[in-house]
Amino acid sequence: MEKTAIQKQLKEAVSKAKKHGYAIAIGHPHKHTLEVLRDSKALLEGVEMVYLKEL
């Protein structure tokens, strides 16, 4: 649950989503996860994030 590990996984998920048109990544609402998501607006540009129940 370290920020650098979360950032690495998020970058990998975004890369897969952009390459394949979708990716599934599960993120639990821990403090560091939420901070990484908040600080990753530029990385997430062009990626639509949805809740599991929306699939």
pTM: 0.86
Q: Using an 8 Å Cβ cutoff, are 53 and 24 in contact?
A: no
The larger pLDDT score, comparing residue 1 to residue 22, is at 22
- Give the pLDDT band (50/70/90) at residue 1: confident
Q: What is the pLDDT of residue 13?
A: 97
Mind listing the pLDDT tens digit for each residue in 6-53? 999 999 999 999 999 999 999 899 999 999 999 999 999 999 999 888
Distance from CA of residue 4 to its chain's centroid?
A: 13
CA distance 7 to 52: 20
Q: Take residue 48 and report the two structure tokens written for it.
A: 């639509």
